[in-house]
Amino acid sequence: MNDKNIQIRKLASSEPIPYGLLLLADETLQAIYRYIFASLIYILESEARIIGVYVMYAIDSKTAEIKNIAVAEEFQNRGYGTSMLHHAMARAKESEFEEIIIGTPDIATKQIRLYKQVGFEPFEVRKNFFIENYTTPIYENGEQLKDKVMLRKRLQGDA
């Protein structure tokens, strides 16, 4: 990403939460409400238009989780997602978290590849997560989501 007009910044509490973008990454508002009010929200803007978002949640003093990351469809595959992941890792490191984690459906191969590209490694599979945590079945490309893979990147001691 080398666009000079792009900036990533924390969403002010007075600004509206970009639910439209968040819903690209999480199926229901009900699921988003479980973490959004206890999280920090960062937005990626281009000329005052919000085109990306990520949500950081402190699990405890050691672990931060990216609960949601999304880029508007027409701006995907230009490196913005990668930039937000690097931003999230840097913010979490500054805040002295030891690790940052992120979870995605086990069939989300594109997302998993992206997370691995920036240094995340799978460490756990949460069996039946998408069956037990959502009221209706969720399908992606005709396939029902069941298991969630969790990936982690250690932060301290990193270059």
Amino acid (one-letter) located at 4: K
**156: exposed, middle or buried (Cβ count in 10 Å: 0-12, 13-18, 19+):** exposed
Find out whether 107 and 140 touch, Cβ atoms under 8 Å.
yes
Burial 67-106 (b: 16+ CB within 10 A, else e): bbbbbbeebeeeebbebbbebbbebbbeeebbbbbbbbbb
Number of other residues whose CB lies within 10 A of the CB of residue 27: 18
Instruction: Choose the stretch contacting ligand ACO; rule: CB under 6 A; options: 34-42, 73-81, 93-101, 130-138.
Output: 73-81
Report the residue number, 14 or 73, with the smaller CB distance to ligand ACO. 73
Is position 114 an interface residue for ligand ACO (rule: CB under 6 A)? Answer: yes
Report the residue number, 78 or 154, with the smaller CB distance to ligand ACO. 78
Report the residue number, 71 or 155, with the smaller CB distance to ligand ACO. 71
Residues 14-33 within binding reach of ligand ACO (CB under 6 A): 24-25
- Rule CB under 6 A: choose which of 11, 28, 40, 78 binds ligand ACO: 78
Task: Of 91, 82, 3, 79, give the one whose Cα is nearest residue 46.
Answer: 3
Instruction: Choose the stretch contacting ligand ACO; rule: CB under 6 A; options: 11-19, 103-111, 121-129, 130-138.
Output: 103-111
- Rule CB under 6 A: choose which of 64, 69, 89, 92 binds ligand ACO: 69
**Distance in angstroms (rounded) separating the CA atoms of residues 35 and 33:** 5
Is position 71 an interface residue for ligand ACO (rule: CB under 6 A)? Answer: yes
Query: Which residues of the chain form contacts with ligand ACO (CB under 6 A)?
Result: 24-25, 66, 68-71, 76-82, 102-104, 110-111, 113-114
